[in-house]
Amino acid sequence: MTSPRTVLIVEDDAVMRTTLAKHLGSSHRVLVGATCSEARALHAENRVDLVILDLHLPDGDGLALVEQFRRDDESEVVVVTAYPKIQSAVRALKAGALDYINKPFDLDEFDLVVQKALEHRRLRDEVVALRRERPSMGGVERILGHAPAIARVRQEIRQVAATPDTTVLVLGESGVGKDLIGEAVHQESARRKGSFVRVNASSIPATMIEAELFGHERGAFTDAKSSRRGLLEIADAGTLFLDEIGDLPLELQPKLLQVLETRRFRRVGGNRELEVNVRFVAATNRDLEGMVREGRFRGDLLYRLNVFPILVPPLRERREDVVFLARHFLDDASRRLGKALKGFSPSALARMDAYKWPGNVRELRNVVERAVILARDEVVNVHDLPAWEQPTSTPTPCPDGCVAFPGDLSALPRLEDVERRYILCVYRQAGNNKTRAAQVLGLSRVTLREKLRQYGIADEGGSNSTT
Ligand SMILES: Nc1ncnc2c1ncn2[C@@H]1O[C@H](COP(=O)(O)OP(=O)(O)O)[C@@H](O)[C@H]1O
Ligand SMILES: [Mg+2]
């Protein structure tokens, strides 16, 4: 954002007005007015970032304008007051002015106030822009999928959202949607007006987690030049999402346990006991029970966290959602990237359907987005997908107990092939005895003979092959 900022100077003293306008004019767009009515007109016609407003104006009290200029956060306002009138400065601040400056002032002082006000404006604009950019946090409706396991997760979120103090533990592999679930618990609950604050125990250096979480008082450690609120305080009235809780250093676990039990804590280096009103949602892809057995996670903390567990199965255990989610991500990516893609080719679908998705939904989303970027036709083809290696280890049999080995769907045998091989196998084991083989296969002798002929299996004549 490099375009010059617009400053409206409202001042009835002509000398002062011109001086200030000239002073700001080199680096800002400056508008000037001498009365309330001029100020109103200029403000209505221009997008003004900052108003420098003298409170004493010929046609009225500038105070009445403050509220109007602040409506919908349209402009920042700094009021200029004659020295003894500190009362009106206070009233102006109450009406929404950001700052005030007393007459007489020198230009350095004036510069400082203007700079500060414009920086404040810039930050406000940035926040608004970031909020708009960030996909708005949603409730359960953002958790897509038809698999019964996911429907159950949505149901559990709604249930636990209704009790706003219950601690939730979200368990599942990386990329299954644990963050999404944490946000949904917050959004579906009465705490949605409070903040949703995320702490990731694995991305903050262990030595800093404590201060991040609990805040610190001035002088608590060498760098602590001032006191600071921790994330717990920031999450007050809202939800604290403890991501990767399995990575929380052992020595900090008792402190967290204490907050979970009492909702009370002290800042680092502080004596005051502070109270918070937060819901804790913890998430991990680790086996916490195993960690407890190995002494790497405290059992009492797990017990406190595990009040309402939500288990999210990996994507490969809800295969029916692979194609569904892939289509959703394809539509989403094509819209964002301005591509008119219709869908996937059958072989691309088969390929995705057969893949194991170790990175779960996150990997699926990335693969689809990449494919949308690469796609040259109106559908995503196999060659737009990554060249996944075929499993080289011995394939495991189909979990449903059929004779096939799950793998690349397009490489699986046709039913006819399987039938042919199976009939041949049974027929040989029966010593080419058609009566016996037909019994095992559950076919009539006539049908078996017909099939043997059809599949070109030679009638080698067993012990009972006369007919
Ligand atoms: N059921 C789902 N429906 C839609 N998007 C999902 C679903 N599950 C996960 N995602 C998406 O997959 C990505 C990874 O999810 P995330 O919540 O960060 O996973 P985790 O925290 O378990 O690693 C995110 O972009 C998320 O929006
Ligand atoms: Mg996560």
Q: Give the residue among 165, 96, 71, 68 at the shortest CA–CA distance from 79.
A: 96
Q: Give the residue among 281, 248, 298 at the shortest CA–CA distance from 167.
A: 281
pTM recorded for the entire structure: 0.63
In degrees and rounded to multiples of 5, residue 230 shows phi and psi of -90, 175
Q: Is 179 in the pocket of ligand 1 (CB under 6 A)?
A: yes
Set out the domains of the chain in order of their start, with CATH numbers. Answer: 6-133 (3.40.50.2300), 140-311 (3.40.50.300), 319-384 (1.10.8.60), 415-454 (1.10.10)
Distance 264 CA to ligand 1 centre (A): 32
Query: 202-211, 244-253, 293-302, 392-401: which range is least confident on average?
Result: 392-401
Distance 320 CA to ligand 2 centre (A): 23
**Averaged pLDDT for residues 138-147:** 92
Distance 222 CA to ligand 2 centre (A): 33
Distance 426 CA to ligand 2 centre (A): 52
Q: What whole-number percentage of the chain has pLDDT above 70?
A: 90
User: Looking at the predicted structure, is the pLDDT value of residue 1 above 70?
Assistant: no
**Averaged pLDDT for residues 162-186:** 96
Tell me if 231 sits within 8 A of 240, measured CB to CB.
Answer: yes
Band (pLDDT 50/70/90 cuts) for residue 7 is very high
Q: Is 228 in the pocket of ligand 1 (CB under 6 A)?
A: no
Band (pLDDT 50/70/90 cuts) for residue 467 is very low
Q: Which atom of ligand 1 is nearest to the CA of 328?
A: 4
Kindly report the average pLDDT of the chain as a whole number: 88
**Averaged pLDDT for residues 11-34:** 94
Q: Is 176 in the pocket of ligand 1 (CB under 6 A)?
A: yes
Tell me if 279 sits within 8 A of 167, measured CB to CB.
Answer: yes
Distance 363 CA to ligand 1 centre (A): 9
Band (pLDDT 50/70/90 cuts) for residue 73 is confident
List residues bridging with 376 in a β-sheet. none
Tell me if 349 sits within 8 A of 323, measured CB to CB.
Answer: yes
Q: Which atom of ligand 1 is nearest to the CA of 364?
A: 12
> 């002929």: which residue's tokens?
453
Distance 390 CA to ligand 1 centre (A): 26
* Longest distance between any two alpha carbons in the chain, whole Å: 126
Residue whose Cα lies nearest atom 13 of ligand 1: it is 362
User: Which amino acid, one-letter code, is at 309?
Assistant: P
User: What is the pLDDT at residue 103?
Assistant: 86
User: What is the pLDDT at residue 131?
Assistant: 67
pLDDT (tens digit per residue) in 80-138: 987 667 788 888 999 999 999 988 899 999 999 999 999 999 888 888 777 665 656 77
Band (pLDDT 50/70/90 cuts) for residue 239 is very high
Distance 360 CA to ligand 1 centre (A): 8
Angstrom distance (rounded) from CA 143 to CA 297: 30
More confident residue, 3 or 245: 245
Band (pLDDT 50/70/90 cuts) for residue 419 is confident
pLDDT (tens digit per residue) in 262-277: 999 999 998 889 999 9
**Averaged pLDDT for residues 173-193:** 95
Q: Is 177 in the pocket of ligand 1 (CB under 6 A)?
A: yes
Residue whose Cα lies nearest atom 24 of ligand 1: it is 362
Q: Is 362 in the pocket of ligand 1 (CB under 6 A)?
A: yes
User: What is the pLDDT at residue 462?
Assistant: 45
Angstrom distance (rounded) from CA 260 to CA 279: 9
pLDDT (tens digit per residue) in 335-390: 999 998 999 998 898 899 889 999 999 999 999 999 999 999 899 999 999 988 76
User: Looking at the predicted structure, is the pLDDT value of residue 280 above 90?
Assistant: yes
Q: Give the residue among 283, 326, 58 at the shortest CA–CA distance from 172.
A: 283
The ligand minimizing its distance to the Cα of 180 is: 1
User: Looking at the predicted structure, is the pLDDT value of residue 392 above 70?
Assistant: no
pLDDT (tens digit per residue) in 225-234: 788 889 999 9
Tell me if 24 sits within 8 A of 7, measured CB to CB.
Answer: yes
Residue whose Cα lies nearest atom 10 of ligand 1: it is 177
Contacts of 154 (CB under 8 A, 6+ apart): 140, 143
Residue whose Cα lies nearest atom 6 of ligand 1: it is 177
User: Looking at the predicted structure, is the pLDDT value of residue 408 above 70?
Assistant: no
SS (H, E, C) the chain: CCCCCEEEEECCCHHHHHHHHHHHHCCCEEEEECCHHHHHHHHHHCCCCEEEEECEECCEECHHHHHHHHHHHCCEEEEEEECCCHHHHHHHHHCCCCEEEEECCCHHHHHHHHHHHHHHHHHHHHHHHHHHHCCCCCCHHHCCCCCHHHHHHHHHHHHHHCCCCCCEEEECCCCCCHHHHHHHHHHCCHHHHCCEEEEECCCCCHHHHHHHHHCECCCCCCCCCCCECCHHHHCCCCEEEEECHHHCCHHHHHHHHHHHHHCEECCECCCCCEECCCEEEEEECCCHHHHHHCCCCCHHHHHHHCCEEEECCCHHHCCHHHHHHHHHHHHHHHHHHCCCCCEECHHHHHHHHHCCCCCHHHHHHHHHHHHHHHCCCCEECHHHCCCCCCCCCCCCCCCCCCCCCCCCHHHCCCHHHHHHHHHHHHHHHCCCCHHHHHHHHCCCHHHHHHHHHHCCCCCCCCCCCCC
